[in-house]
Amino acid sequence: MYQLIKPIFFQFDPEKVHYFVVKRLKWFHDHFPLGKTILRSSFDVNIKGLEREVFGIKFKNPVGLAAGFDKNGEYIEALSNLGFGFIEVGTVTPLPQPGNDKPRMFRLEEDSALINRMGFNNKGVDTLAERLRLLRSKDSDIVVGGNIGKNKNTPNEDAVSDYIKCFDRLFDVVDYFVVNVSSPNTPGLRELQEKGPLMNLLNTLQQRNKKNDISRPILLKIAPDLTNEQLDDIVEIVMQTGIAGVIATNTTIDKSGLKSPEKISTEAGGLSGKPLTVRSTEVIKYLSDKSNKAFPIIGVGGIHSPKDAQDKLDAGASLVQLYTGFIYEGPGIVKRICKELVKK
């Protein structure tokens, strides 16, 4: 069914279509008689043998929705009924910000890819925290991760304070945190991936984490464009700071070898989708091998099929996440992946 509808969706601006679809999904879930039941019966994954515990959290299945799809936590309940084992919201910043100028998302259909330069557009951490607090008041068992960043106008020397504000505000309402220093769409952000600034940031958050009777797993989301030497630093940083793990990978700035027209493929922003499949898997395997599987990895980047997901798990990932593959392949991809994984 989705493959019949997709050509219609793809005639319109990607960002406008995104909000058109998720708003109607939420309405269908919340207000249509039996809407929730229909979604669950069609897409939810109720398959034994997929449950797993990673960094102290129990996941009903290993397939999650990556950050960026639901930045403000507005559609969590509806999306969770499409079969996802966990939902990651954000990237959120302390203050609301509009993000970069539109248009800022582009489809590369010949490559089954997207380019985005959204720029951490979000309604701010206070709005997200209140929305998640309402979700928790319903005794929801949905596993939710909070992806945190800094505001565009915050200089890098003050970035730690932005991450602390988001961390403190979301601590009681998320299950795990993701520190995003790898988006290519906030000027200077990737400089925080350098060893010194990154150690300082993660150590500060870990100290904050230990002040609470209950700590939260903190993961680091990294770029696929890091060299092996930089990946070696990542392994060392994770081990020294004691954070829970890594998400590999974010979008790439490498746009070589694309099939799509140059007018689209040279747009500024991060590239996601099939062109990232191989590289993200390579990064996962390198980190897993180099660390001797010392910490969990969430694999994301170019998962468009059950095989893509299995390849990332075989490379060393404990969990996987979808974004662009979800858009190109439709909501049925979650169940298809899970059905194949359980056979393994």
Catalytic residues: 183
Q: How far is CA 54 from the centre of its chain?
A: 16
Burial class (CB in 10 A: 0-12, 13-18, 19+), 305: middle
**CA–CA gap between residue 205 and residue 9 (Å, rounded):** 41
**CA–CA gap between residue 223 and residue 271 (Å, rounded):** 11
Q: What's the token pair of residue 292?
A: 């001797």
Inter-CA distances, 8 with 105, 213, 267, 339, Å: 17, 51, 23, 28
Enumerate the β-bridge partners of residue 54: 57
CA-atom Rg of the chain in angstroms = 19
* Residues 182, 102, 105, 122, CA torsion sign: positive
Q: Give the CA count within 13 Å in the CB-facing half-sphere of 326.
A: 25
Token pair 């893509």: residue: 308
* Residues 335, 120, 198, 251, CA torsion sign: positive
For residue 91, is the peptide bond before it cis, meaning its omega torsion is within 30 degrees of 0? yes
Token pair 């790898």: residue: 182
Q: Give the CA count within 13 Å in the CB-facing half-sphere of 92.
A: 31
By DSSP bridging, strand 297-300 and strand 245-248 are parallel
Q: What's the token pair of residue 117?
A: 């330069």
